[in-house]
C-alpha cells in the first residue's frame, strides 16, 4: 500500500504541506498525472490511511484528511524526510532539517496537534524543490 512512487508523497503532502484538495496535489512540483493521483487517493482511502470528506459549501468537492492510521505514519515519514535531506538535494533549508532532526519528538507532537485540531497550516514552509531539475539530468 505504500510501495509505489506516489503514496508516500501524497501522505507527506497531507501531513506536512497542508494539502487538502485534488488540485493541491495536482499542482505540486512532482506533477503526478490526474489518473494516477485519483487512483492513489482511492487506494489510500480503501486502505484506511485517508478519508475524503465532502466540503460543506459544495458537496461535489472533497478535502482529503489523514485518518489515525495515516497520522501514525508521522515518525516513519519524519525519518524519511531527514534521511532524504541528508543524502539528496531536496531544496529544504539545512537549518530546518537540522532542527527537525534534533527535535523529533516536538515535531511529531506538532504534526499530531495540527492533525487533531484540523489546522491546515503547513509544517514545512514552501521552498523550491530540485526534483524536476534532477530528473531532467
User: Of residues 19 and 124, which shows the higher confidence score?
Assistant: 19
Judge: domain 7-118, CATH 3.30.530.20: no
Q: Identify the band that residue 69 occupies on the pLDDT scale cut at 50, 70 and 90.
A: very high
Query: In terms of Cα–Cα distance, which of 36, 31, 132 is closest to 91?
Result: 132
Confidence bin at 102 (pLDDT 50/70/90): very high
Report the range out of 13-17, 54-58, 130-134 with the highest average pLDDT: 13-17
The pLDDT mean for the chain works out to 87
Confidence of residue 128 (pLDDT cuts 50, 70, 90): low
Question: What integer is the mean pLDDT of 71-89?
Answer: 90
> What ranges do the domains of the chain cover?
7-118
- Please name which of 19, 100, 93, 13 lies closest in space to residue 109, comparing C-alpha atoms: 100
Amino acid at each position: 500500500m505504500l510501495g509505489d512512487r506516489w503514496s508516500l508523497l501524497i501522505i507527506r503532502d497531507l501531513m506536512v504541506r497542508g494539502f487538502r484538495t485534488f488540485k493541491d496535489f495536482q499542482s505540486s512540483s512532482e506533477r503526478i498525472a490526474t489518473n494516477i493521483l485519483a487512483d492513489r487517493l482511492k487506494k489510500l482511502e480503501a486502505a484506511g490511511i485517508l478519508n475524503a470528506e465532502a466540503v460543506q459549501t459544495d458537496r461535489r468537492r472533497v478535502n482529503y484528511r489523514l485518518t489515525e492510521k495515516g497520522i501514525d505514519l508521522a515518525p516513519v515519514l519524519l525519518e524519511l524526510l531527514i534521511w532524504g535531506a541528508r543524502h539528496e538535494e531536496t531544496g529544504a533549508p539545512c537549518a530546518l532539517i537540522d532542527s527537525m532532526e534534533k527535535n523529533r519528538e516536538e515535531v511529531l507532537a506538532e504534526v499530531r496537534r495540527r492533525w487533531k485540531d484540523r489546522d491546515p497550516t503547513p509544517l514545512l514552509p514552501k521552498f523550491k524543490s530540485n526534483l524536476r531539475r534532477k530528473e531532467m539530468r
